[in-house]
Structure 1
Amino acid sequence: MTTQKKAEVKRAFLIEQATACLAEKGYAAVSLRDIAKESGVSLGILHYYFSSKEELLLAVISSYKGRFMEELEREVLAAPSGKWSAALGRVLCRSLQEDRKLHRLWYDLQVQAMYVPVFGEQVKVIRSRLHQLISRMLVRLQLEEQTSLTIDEDSAISLIYSAIDGFLFQFLLDELQSPEEAIACFEQTFAHLMHTLFSTEF
């Protein structure tokens, strides 16, 4: 294994360890020293790969959200137009079952973004990619169903994003609700939203 490859593997390992630590305790309650201890490395080694806790959090979020968006792109965009809502529901349900704490960390980052400019930049990048995914789906729906939006595309994207984001946030606040129960309610609400945005049901 080359030196570069070893460094990449080590960095990925540290991101994985930091992800578990940050997701469990939250950004404010974790220090680089805590992460180094959990990873079984010295603080100096951790600093070699990440100059600050901020840089490490950005790497964690980028890795997690990247996987989440790839899953959305792979399964939701590939679904037949009439099955988009159901595909979205399946992805969200699976994600809430497996990555509940990571979703919580994403909202933690968004709060920090109001105070830390570099976090704000990363949040904008991620939100932009999610908006682009929704835009691609809206274009496809209009072409395949030969229908049009009842409002302008930017407003439709904002409403759909807000519905999904708001649902995830509310789910995280309700510790007693199961992902399956939450998704069942979400799918009904989401179907109603889509019905108001288009002249046909999805």
Structure 2
Amino acid sequence: MDKSTKNLIICFRFVHNSSNLTADQGSRRKPQQHFMSEQLDQMNKIETKLEARSRRKSEKRELKRRELAKSTAMALSTLGYVNTSLRDIAEQSGNALGTLHYYFEDRVDLITFTVALYKRAFLDELRTAAEGSESIEDVINNLSAGLSHGVTYHADEHKLWFDIRNQAAFDPAFEQSISEIEGEIIDVFSKVERHYFPGRSAATLDYTAVDGLFRYIMQSKEAKHRDFDANSRLFREMLGFLWLN
């Protein structure tokens, strides 16, 4: 709801409350109260409609931001972060430069949103795999499948993640976002630990080991590392080594 509408409602309620204090105690009071009550009901309905309209507008804006993020990911996977400006993103994605400026404050805002969008979708897959398992063997199998799916079929999106994560070492603008996402990934391993290995506290080490394997597969030029089943086996071996030995 915009500021002017909020002010209008506040003013109306102020007048309504004031009228209740100053109205005659006689026969005029009840009709006036009834009239003001009707008016207040109408204003409440208007407020509800305006809030719904504002919510729909916000949802449409979020959908547009997500749409632009998808185009941005494609552009960045081709050009890389360092060599890509907002103008490059606009040209590669087929969007007007002004559109990007309207929905995002700057290049950092756009790229941070894009990386978070894709990485959190990946995170949801890992959480589902870990939390929907009934044994540690199931956890290993399901997590391995989720990791393999990401690196096999969505390598370009993950290249963007590693690109921006490296950039965070030089650009503080990315530090918080990268730290938050990594913290959420480590939390997946922590939950597995708490459930199956009480007292163990090596989630960060587990994450870095799996992260290293993930990056190795992603960057490999070998044909076998484009195979889902082969990649799943590698992750199962890694997780089995970490959790079953």
Task: State the TM-score bracket (shorter-chain normalisation).
Answer: 0.7 to 0.9
In the alignment, is the contact (CA less than 8 A) between 1:163 and 1:190 conserved in 2? no
Q: Which residue of 1 aligns with 2:106?
A: 52
Q: 33-42 or 48-57, which moves further after superposition? A: 33-42
How much has 1:48 moved relative to structure 2? 1.2
- 1:145-156 matches, within 5 Å, as 148-149=198-199, 152-153=200-201, 156=202
Residue type of the alignment partner of 2:186: H
Of residues 223, 226, 237, the one that matches 1:178 is 226
In the alignment, is the contact (CA less than 8 A) between 2:140 and 2:240 conserved in 1? yes
Q: Which residue of 2 aligns with 1:191?
A: 240
Of residues 135, 143, 147, the one that matches 2:190 is 135
Of residues 78, 94, 101, the one that matches 2:156 is 101
Q: 13-22 or 40-49, which moves further after superposition? A: 40-49
Q: Which residue of 2 aligns with 1:169?
A: 215
Q: SS of the counterpart of 2:131?
A: coil
Give the Cα–Cα distance (whole angstroms) in 1 for the partners of residues 211 and 152 of structure 2. Answer: 16
How much has 1:159 moved relative to structure 2? 1.7
Q: Which residue of 2 aligns with 1:21?
A: 75
Of residues 104, 116, 122, the one that matches 2:177 is 122
Q: Is residue 2:82 matched to residue 1:34?
A: no
Give the Cα–Cα distance (whole angstroms) in 2 for the partners of residues 141 and 124 of structure 1. Answer: 26
Of residues 130, 138, 143, the one that matches 1:88 is 143
Give the Cα–Cα distance (whole angstroms) in 1 for the partners of residues 176 and 144 of structure 2. Answer: 28
Write the deviation string for residues 87-140 of structure 1: whole angstroms up to 9, x where unpaired.
Answer: 011101111222111111111011100111121111110111112121111111
Give the Cα–Cα distance (whole angstroms) in 1 for the partners of residues 131 and 64 of structure 2. Answer: 33
In the alignment, is the contact (CA less than 8 A) between 2:148 and 2:235 conserved in 1? no
Kindly report the root-mean-square deviation, in angstroms, between the aligned alpha carbons of the 2 structures.
1.8
Give 4+ residue runs of structure 1 displaced > 4 Å after superposition.
Answer: none
Larger relative contact order (Cα-Cα within 8 Å, sequence gap ≥ 6): 1
Change (3 A) 1:116 1:83: same
Change (3 A) 1:33 1:77: same
Give the Cα–Cα distance (whole angstroms) in 1 for the partners of residues 153 and 180 of structure 2. Answer: 24
Residue type of the alignment partner of 2:233: A
Write the deviation string for residues 140-160 of structure 1: whole angstroms up to 9, x where unpaired.
Answer: 113xxxxx45xx41xx11221
The number of residues matched between the two structures is 187
Q: SS of the counterpart of 1:69?
A: helix
Q: Which residue of 2 aligns with 1:200?
A: none
Residue type of the alignment partner of 2:142: A
Which structure has the greater CA radius of gyration? 2
How much has 1:172 moved relative to structure 2? 1.9
How much has 1:17 moved relative to structure 2? 0.6
Q: 9-18 or 179-188, which moves further after superposition? A: 179-188
Change (3 A) 1:25 1:195: same
Change (3 A) 1:49 1:173: same
- Unpaired stretches in structure 1, ≥5 consecutive residues: 143-147, 197-202
In the superposition, the TM-score normalised over structure 1's length comes to: 0.85
